Amino acid sequence: MLELQGIPVSPGVAIGPALVLDDEGYRIPRCLIPAADTTAEWGRLLSAFGKVAKQLEVNRKQTAERLGEEAGRIFSAQQQMLSDPGLLAELEGRVRQQQQSAAYAVSRVLHRYAEALGKLNSPFLAERAEDVLDIEKQLLHRMGAVTSDPLSNLDEPVILLARNLTPSETANLDRQYVRGFCTEIGGPGGHTAIVAKGLELPAVVGIGQFLDRIGQGSQVIVDGDRGCMIVDPDQATIDRYEERAQIRQKLTLRLAELRDLPAETVDGQRVTLSANIEFPHEVDACLQRGADGIGLYRTEFLYLSSNEEPSEEDHYEAYTEVIGALQGRPVVIRTLDLGADKMGHTSLTEPENNPFLGLRSIRLSLKNQDLFRTQIRAVLRAAVHGDVRMMFPLISTLQELRTARMLVNIVIDDLREEGAEFRSDIPIGMMVEVPAAVIMIDRFAEEVDFFSIGTNDLVQYTLAVDRSNESVAELYQSSDPAVLRLIQQTVDVSNKTNTPVGICGEMSSNPARVLLLLGLGVRSFSVPPLAIPRIKKVIRSVTIADCEEIADRVMQLESAREVDLYLLDRLGDLVPELVVQ
């Protein structure tokens, strides 16, 4: 049994056989062949070499004709690698003497070559490492050792193990068969983690290098609550997890009884408890758990889950589906938050050195105004069907907000001229996600109808810590005193100016931190659907006076660790049912 620790990003437990993917999306298992077959296996490998060499020559000629001899020499370098006598000798030894399958020998040897080149700290040699991996992939395809997409033909439940998963890859996982996943890299605030929660897939990221230690089909437990992955568990461990599953099931049934009760504190303070969604089909799960509405509809997943850029009608149909399912409850539609680690199949930006500080979110929308106007048109048209609010992400300056609002007015004029059915009076708000927005929050309050604090990016930009980087994950804490002061400042100004404010970041799905947020004056939360019952349980178990006392104490503390230990202790006092599970 092997137990590895990572970062829990999506709660729950899943047990099943491993499907191991390398960076390239495949994994070649260690395979030995009978001694009698080694000559044929070596011949198969030589045949693949010949075919790849021929294709490289074709590529070289065609590229040279189009782009010149210099460009054609890219493939000359690969041809030289392929004909290296040392490479051939090592592969022959592995196949003939060690009786390794040709595919396994190719994968091991060329991966080792690439790793050696990558460690030389030279951009030129790093590119050569990519050339080596490209040759490996071509050889494996020629030998039929890999398919183009191992996730497309699943026919049994699996636990997916990978180096990394992008948000779009995660969004497109087959929920019928993929029961959970673990990755070597990734952080707690990455968008992949958000998608996993939306899909209710148990997930652990940032485990570190482990793929080379796991066999295909090995039994794996993903513990998304505690952030661990257990490989080949013994029977006692399996029994323990099955017992935990029964306890969780009983708690889930008890919390489900709160569904039709209001999110109201013991002393009668009504709190709005809404849900975050990525996909229209999630609305049913939100309503089944008693959500007051949708506080954050992340529309960029229209892009991430499709091979084509969505049209105005695609947007409109998705929004009307959500609005119809909500039956009069409100929905906050956030305009596109593409860029950084969220990009569709067609990139809208040039490669950037610091994409999280670059052309992303509202900046990308304002740079691609045709795309932005298409979405605004769809939102305003869909708004005739229900209670719709529109929200701009990552606003940093007043000018960005004013430009976005100006585009809304232009679209309104266009729709009016066309005689289209639409609404021009929907509330327009902004996300508070960067310190600059907090510093200017009193000025923004004069120009928006509501605020929503996005703690995921607010933490990232306040603490200068990459939310998706496992190496600095311990610094990524929404309970850091600096972040808490920004939240407090935003809430105080919002209350003073009568500007509604809520929290839609991941912080609001943490029961202990909700105690603090209530004490700071937050009265509106939007959380992943799975978290609704627990957060409602917290709200219905405390008084505002309890929470204000907690907030007073927390704002005197000096570190995230002190804050979390104190909050966990108070959660144990006030809602012990949620601590022991």
Q: What is the CATH number of the domain that holds 90?
A: 1.10.274.10
In this predicted structure, the answer to whether residue 71 has a pLDDT above a threshold of 70 is no
Per-residue pLDDT tens over the stretch 137-190: 788 888 877 665 667 677 789 999 998 887 667 877 888 899 999 999 887 767
Tokens of 211: 């793929």
Q: Which of 111, 182, 315, 504 is catalytic?
A: 504
Least confident of 74-78, 104-108, 420-424, 440-444: 74-78
Report the b/e string of 113-124 with b at 16+ CB within 10 A: bbeebbeeeeee
In this predicted structure, the answer to whether residue 574 has a pLDDT above a threshold of 90 is yes
pLDDT of residue 342: 56
Residue 405 and residue 464 in one domain: yes
Give the residue-averaged pLDDT of 369-378.
Answer: 95
Contact 286, 275 (CB under 8 A): yes
Q: Report the C-alpha gap between 414 and 228 in whole angstroms.
A: 54
Residue 134 and residue 169 in one domain: no
Least confident of 89-98, 138-147, 319-328: 138-147
Least confident of 28-37, 119-128, 419-428, 504-513: 119-128
Residue 22 and residue 47 in one domain: no
DSSP 339: B
pLDDT of residue 1: 86
Domain count, the chain: 3
Residue 478 and residue 374 in one domain: yes
Q: Give the 3-state secondary structure of 524-538.
A: EEEECHHHHHHHHHH
Residue 230 and residue 264 in one domain: no
- Percent over 70 (pLDDT), the chain: 89
Residue 325 and residue 450 in one domain: yes
Residue 68 and residue 216 in one domain: no
Give the residue-averaged pLDDT of 524-537.
Answer: 94
Q: Which of 125, 143, 161 is the last residue of a domain?
A: 143
Give the residue-averaged pLDDT of 58-81.
Answer: 71
Residue 347 and residue 426 in one domain: yes
Task: Supply the range of the domain harboring residue 196.
Answer: 2-26+149-250
Q: Which of 112, 143, 174 is the last residue of a domain?
A: 143
User: Mean pLDDT, the chain, as a whole number?
Assistant: 87
Give the residue-averaged pLDDT of 318-342.
Answer: 89
Q: Which of 234, 250, 266 is the last residue of a domain?
A: 250
191 flagged as catalytic? yes
Q: Which of 111, 191, 315, 547 is catalytic?
A: 191
Residue 126 and residue 184 in one domain: no
Least confident of 240-249, 321-330, 347-356, 498-507: 347-356
Please, which pLDDT band fits residue 24 given cuts at 50, 70 and 90?
Answer: low
504 flagged as catalytic? yes
Task: Kindly report the CATH number assigned to the domain that includes residue 180.
Answer: 3.50.30.10
Please, which pLDDT band fits residue 501 given cuts at 50, 70 and 90?
Answer: very high
Top-ranked range on mean pLDDT: pick from 61-65, 219-223, 480-484: 480-484
Continuous segment of H or E residues that includes residue 372: helix 369-382
Residue 137 and residue 162 in one domain: no
Decide: residue 558, CB within 10 A, 0-12 exposed, 13-18 middle, 19+ buried.
exposed
Per-residue pLDDT tens over the stretch 29-63: 667 788 888 999 999 999 999 888 888 888 777 76
Contact 168, 305 (CB under 8 A): yes
Sheet of 219-223, strand order: 2-5, 228-231, 219-223, 13-21, 158-162, 178-183, 203-205, 7-10
pTM of the model: 0.71
pLDDT of residue 213: 81
pLDDT of residue 457: 92
Give the residue-averaged pLDDT of 298-309.
Answer: 76
Q: Write the single-letter amino acid at 76.
A: S
Residue 138 and residue 158 in one domain: no
Q: Report the C-alpha gap between 182 and 162 in whole angstroms.
A: 7
Q: Write the single-letter amino acid at 345.
A: H
Gyration radius of the chain over CA positions: 27
In this predicted structure, the answer to whether residue 6 has a pLDDT above a threshold of 80 is yes
Residue 280 and residue 400 in one domain: yes
Decide: residue 218, CB within 10 A, 0-12 exposed, 13-18 middle, 19+ buried.
middle
pLDDT of residue 388: 98
In this predicted structure, the answer to whether residue 207 has a pLDDT above a threshold of 70 is yes
Q: Where are the alpha helices (DSSP H) in 471-525?
A: 481-496, 511-520
Contact 181, 159 (CB under 8 A): yes
Q: Which residues make up each annotated binding site?
A: 298, 334, 433, 456-457, 467
Please, which pLDDT band fits residue 363 given cuts at 50, 70 and 90?
Answer: very high
Continuous segment of H or E residues that includes residue 21: strand 13-21
Q: Which residues make up each annotated binding site for phosphoenolpyruvate?
A: 298, 334, 456-457, 467
